[in-house]
Amino acid sequence: MNEKIKRIMAKSFEVPIETINDNSTKDDIESWDSLHHIMMVVELERAFAINIPDERVGNMISYNLIKSIVYECFETHI
Amino acid sequence: MNVLKHIFKEKITGRYVTLLKVSVHDAEDIYRWRTSKSGEFLHQPLNYSVESQRKWITSRTGEEINYIIYRNDLMEKVGMVSIYEVNYEDMVTNVGRLILDEKYIHNKTPYGLESLLITYDYAFNTMGFRKITGVILGSNVKVYELQKYLGMTQEGYLKAHVMISDHLEDLYIMSLFSDEFTGYSEKLKALLR
């Protein structure tokens, strides 16, 4: 699941997968703007069949936060 | 429906951006944006020049309004967005022609996104439009996804419909009804931080 999240982040931000690591944040990735952020949210929702609430979307500003929100939504969804 | 025509506001203010009505002095900037990479998804008129852009601005009627997007902190031009093809009888309008200066395409501050949202908000909640429509090129996948995320739905798809840079492009026909617009509030809270 973690690797899949990283792959989705890389695809959404149009960067090589190696660019995404456990410490990646919004500040490290130049292409991480609102448009690409939404691409990532849409792709995560599709890939994991989850619904990320609007109020959580803005908190997804690092790999670790994204991971914890995806896990949280995934568990709530089961 | 007998509806009186409205006068468009010449200034709309958001948290990060302010929209000001386009003037003839903006022609050079618009030309620069449209002929840069930022304009790759826009239809380019034949023999396009600063002068033709100037003429286009002066020929606009009250049936549409084109706004220059300024960032609030520096009052620097960021791009343009428009309300056009207004139909007051049916209270339907187009919102589009969104273009950003290249240096603002990948920006951590969501200037483009807020511009779209405050334009929708203005069109629905101040102007009273019932429905907003828009077209998106088939290859402009990111904007298509963005608009769907903001609540737009796809009403149609026109194959090989418009010539862009010497090749034919498909078009998505999108729409958003006023009661489906979740608004400035929730989406902005989430995304405009």
Per-residue pLDDT of chain B (193 residues; tens, 9 = 90+): 445 556 889 999 999 999 999 999 999 999 999 999 888 777 777 789 999 999 999 999 878 999 999 999 999 999 999 999 999 999 999 999 999 999 998 888 889 999 999 999 999 999 999 999 999 999 998 889 889 988 899 999 999 999 887 889 999 999 999 998 876 656 666 666 6
A18 interfaces chain B, CB cutoff of 8 Å: no
User: CB A35 to CB B112 under 8 A?
Assistant: yes
Q: Judge: A38–B146 Cβ closer than 8 Å, yes or no.
A: yes
Return the residue of A nearest to B145 by Cα.
Answer: A39
The CATH code of the domain that includes B172 is 3.40.630.30
Residues of B in contact with A57 (CB under 8 A): 190-191
Domain ranges of chain A: 2-77
Residues of chain A with pLDDT under 50: none
Q: Which value does ipTM take for this structure?
A: 0.72
Task: Say yes or no for a CB contact (<8 Å) between B189 and A54.
Answer: yes
Contact B160, B179 (CB under 8 A): no
Q: What is the pLDDT of residue B25?
A: 96
Residue A39, chain B, CB below 8 Å: the answer is: yes
Contact criterion met (CB < 8 Å) for A42 and B149? yes
Determine, yes or no, domain membership for B16: yes
Q: Is B105 on the interface with A (CB under 8 A)?
A: yes
Residue B79: count of CB within 10 angstroms of its CB = 25
Q: Answer whether A33 sits within 8 Å of B145, measured CB to CB.
A: no
Assess B187–A contact: CB distance below 8 Å, yes or no: yes
pLDDT computed for residue B1 by the predictor: 46
* Residue range(s) defining the domain that contains residue B107: 11-191
Residues A7-31 as b or e (16 or more Cβ within 10 Å = b): ebbbbbbebeeeebeeebeeeebee
- Listed residue (B7, B5, B12) closest to B117, CA to CA: B12
CATH classification for the domain delimited by A2-77, as one of 1.10.1200.10, 3.40.50.300, 1.10.4100.10, 3.30.2450.30: 1.10.1200.10
Question: What single string gives the DSSP state of each residue in B4-65?
Answer: PPPPPPSEEE-SSEEEEE--GGGHHHHHHHHTSGGGGGSPPPTT--HHHHHHHHHT--TT-E
User: pLDDT value at position B190?
Assistant: 67
Burial of residue B163, with CB atoms counted within 10 A of its CB: 0-12 exposed, 13-18 middle, 19 or more buried? exposed
Tell me what pLDDT residue B44 has: 76
> Among residues B47, B45, B110, B120, which one has the least CA distance to residue B79?
B110
* Contact between B143 and A35 using a beta-carbon 8 Å cutoff: yes
